[in-house]
Amino acid sequence: MARFVADTLDLSRLPSPTVIRDLDYETIRSDRLADFKRRWPEWDQGSLETDPAVILQEADAFRELLDKQRINEAARAVMLPFAEKSDLDVIGSLFGVARMIGEEDTPYRRRIALAPEAYASAGSAGGYAFHALSVSTTIVDVGVTSPSPGVVEVVILCADGTDPEVVAALVSSVNARLQSDDIRPLTDHVVVMASDALSYAITAHLVVPPGPDPSVVAAAARSSLLQLAGATYRVGRSIDASEISGAAWSSNARRVDVSPAGVVVTRRQAPRCSSVTVTTEIAGA
């Protein structure tokens, strides 16, 4: 567990802060026309859409909408959960974290959030995770545990399809970084290893009522299950059966039967989904 931000916190799911305002063109247009009427009571309210006054107010309403949207975008640009691309690079610079070559926004955002963990040393779990993730963009997750006093076990998870020799080289690189005198606390014995993949396959059978296109329901369920599989491909991340059924469920389903009944992994394993199969059945057919 990180001290400054939960390592498992999905920043993308945070709600928009109140500084971000909901925008609606029709509301802005109506307000401007009402204000125009108050300022010029003689104006004919029944004028056509081609009335120059209406056209001008509509044009200005659209410009106002763009201005307010720009304010929303500017507010998002300075917030870690919402900043993207160069805006995210600027936030990273405040924490002394540079984007690695080829690093996408999501893993870069995670490293920025973990950066304060490394200020003192790699003594915390988050600190070790930060330094390990900073070795290569092919490392997608890091598990840090202490199986016995003074021993720190660091398990790295590499992207699917990574060559075993590449994984071995990454383990060596991470170990070299974490063994550095300015990172590893003197009393820690650090052991770095690659995670073991626990393969599993998801099958889901949906019973849908007559009406909805079964193929559309199945496609939506498969997409949701693939998203779950990607999000849970983490070191030591077990998956409950309710998570699988919940991902497959939708308002267009009457019943969902899924397999497996959960996936349990050890602290050195990561659950890797090999396939997702979704079948459908029309209720009463």
Q: What is the pLDDT at residue 21?
A: 81
Q: What is the pLDDT at residue 116?
A: 86
| CA–CA gap between residue 269 and residue 266 (Å, rounded) | 5
- Give the containing element (helix H, strand E) for 247: helix 241-248
Q: What would the pLDDT profile of 86-100 be if each residue is shown by its tens digit?
A: 999 999 999 999 999
| CA–CA gap between residue 13 and residue 53 (Å, rounded) | 43
pLDDT band at 3 (very low <50, low <70, confident <90, very high): low
Distances (CA, A) of 176 to 71, 149, 198, 272: 45, 22, 27, 27
Greatest CA span in the chain, whole angstroms? 84
pLDDT greater at residue 42 or residue 55: 55
Q: How many CB atoms lie within 10 A of CB 48?
A: 7
Q: What is the pLDDT at residue 123?
A: 74
pLDDT greater at residue 182 or residue 90: 90
Q: What is the Cα 209 distance to its own chain's centre?
A: 33
Rounded mean pLDDT of 257-272?
Answer: 95
Q: What would the pLDDT profile of 218-245 be if each residue is shown by its tens digit?
A: 999 999 999 999 999 999 999 999 999 9
Helix then strand then coil, in percent of the chain rounded to 5, is 40, 20, 40
| CA–CA gap between residue 68 and residue 58 (Å, rounded) | 15
